[in-house]
Amino acid sequence: MAFEETVRLSLDDVRTVTVNRSFPWETGRPIIVFAHGAGNDVFSEFFQLLDDGLSRFPINRLYLNFPYRVAGKKMPDRLPVLQESWRQVIQWVHHTYPEVPLFIGGKSMGGRIAATVAEDYPQLTGVIFLGYPLHPPGKPDRLRDAPLYTLNLPMLFVQGTRDNLAKFDLIRQVVDRMGSHASLVVVTEGDHSFKVPRKLGKSYKSVLYWVAEHINFWVKQQLYNGN
């Protein structure tokens, strides 16, 4: 993925978060900021294909790389660092692009951390979860749903039915429990990264383009239907 611009924001004397701006970019369009999951960064195939799909729609996209990935490390930063990264980026976007509708979210961990800070920013337009990690692999009894119920914002969950970090019947129950605040897009036979079995005859690109279409549709709903 080739970014148009990369901005570096210092959290302290040691840690830096980067904000990568994709193109095309048109002033005044709604902005989505996506953060990556624990095991990858925003240069992954997942985000490359998703961004290609989103580039067809009138949405500006920014991608957040957490400090540990900026430093070339594999072990995620501690929770306070991840949260402060999100806060710094949200504040930077609001300052740099004032009065523009702003959505935040991300892949797995990136979306989960966004959920823990979003309640502090009621001016956000919505939160998008790309494979919300509802529980650790194989441990559906250890739910990570508590931050979701405090959010008074529209939420979009894109979830695969074979996600080993979100047993599908459980994530559906969580979304249903939140009522009109939450919407669910189902990637049939999709895993945690929305990859589907080869027998379905669908390329990864086609699946993520389909996801991009649904994100665009939901964004338009929030902007024009007064949700």
CA–CA separation, 17 vs 41, rounded Å? 12
Contacts of 217 (CB under 8 A, 6+ apart): none
Mean pLDDT, 10 residues at a time, over the chain (227 residues)?
Answer: 84 95 94 97 96 97 98 96 98 96 98 97 97 95 95 97 97 96 97 97 98 98 79
- Quick one: 128 exposed, middle or buried, by C-beta within 10 A (0-12, 13-18, 19+)? buried
Q: Collapsing DSSP states into helix, strand and coil, what is residue 107?
A: strand
CA–CA separation, 112 vs 115, rounded Å? 5
Predicted model pTM: 0.96
Query: What per-residue confidence (pLDDT) applies to 7?
Result: 95
Query: What per-residue confidence (pLDDT) applies to 160?
Result: 98
As given in the structure block, the two tokens for residue 207 are 């699946």
Unique residue bearing structure tokens 């048109």: 26
The CATH fold of domain 5-224: Rossmann fold (3.40.50)
Question: Would you give the distance in Å from CA 2 to the centre of its chain?
Answer: 19
Query: What per-residue confidence (pLDDT) applies to 76?
Result: 97
Residue 106 one-letter amino acid: G
- How far are the Cα atoms of 34, 52, 129 from residue 178, in angstroms, in the given order? 22, 31, 14
Spatial contact of 39 and 86, defined as CB atoms under 8 Å apart: no
